[in-house]
């Protein structure tokens, strides 16, 4: 069995949702990600029942990544915390540098409640990583007007003999992190 088929089948079995091998999404190209293969839960109704894992892909370095559905985004969070006007103003910001400390410091000064939420999600990822011994990270995907946040986990050295166990551990960690994040 090919690796991509094993990943698809394992994710489908663990979640009860149908995962399919699909083309790489356009937004991956803009992030300079060029996966060898891509698997996704394409049925939105099913995906909503398992938001902790929505897609998987293999990077050129051999690592396999799992990603959740979005936890949320800056537009919605700014609107809830600061109102429509602040949300509208935030649309003019280019968030592509959100990952830098300088950008985050400025963002934190402008939107402290939203920044606190993001920090809390990062802390959830860190706690779950330590407890589950699986690396869970808070991923941000920023562009003009918005940053979308998800959880990701990376499976390194995915040997076929241990792949199913590693995917199971990663999915359970992602499920734990997503559930904790939804309590925030």
Q: What is the pTM of this model?
A: 0.93
Please tell me the predicted confidence (pLDDT) of residue 158. Answer: 76
Would you tell me how many other CB atoms lie within 10 Å of the CB of residue 48? 12
Q: Tell me: the pLDDT tens digits for 145-163?
A: 999 999 999 998 877 778 9
Q: How far apart are CA 39 and CA 99, in angstroms?
A: 26
Could you tell me if 164 and 13 are in contact, meaning their C-beta atoms sit under 8 angstroms apart? no
Q: Tell me: the pLDDT tens digits for 82-133?
A: 999 999 999 999 998 999 999 999 999 999 999 999 999 999 999 999 999 9
Q: Lowest-confidence range among 22-26, 73-77, 79-83, 118-122?
A: 22-26
Give the chain's end-to-end CA distance (angstroms, integer): 41
């Amino acid at each position: 069995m090919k690796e991509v088929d094993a990943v698809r089948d394992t994710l489908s079995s663990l979640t009860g949702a149908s995962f399919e091998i699909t083309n790489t999404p356009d937004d991956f190209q803009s992030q300079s990600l060029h996966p060898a293969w891509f698997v996704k839960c394409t049925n939105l109704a099913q995906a909503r029942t398992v938001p902790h894992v929505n897609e998987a892909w293999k990077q050129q370095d051999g690592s396999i990544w799992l990603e959740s559905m979005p936890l949320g985004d800056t537009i919605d969070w700014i609107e809830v915390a600061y109102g429509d006007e602040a949300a509208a103003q935030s649309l003019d910001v280019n968030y592509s540098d959100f990952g830098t400390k300088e950008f985050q410091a400025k963002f934190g000064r402008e939107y402290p409640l939203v920044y606190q939420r993001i920090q809390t999600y990062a802390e959830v990822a860190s706690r779950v990583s330590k407890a589950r011994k699986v690396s869970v990270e808070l991923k941000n995907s920023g562009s003009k007007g918005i940053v979308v946040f998800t959880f990701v986990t990376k499976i390194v050295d995915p040997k076929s003999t241990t792949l199913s166990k590693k995917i199971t551990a990663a999915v359970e960690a992602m499920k734990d992190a997503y559930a904790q994040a939804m309590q925030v």
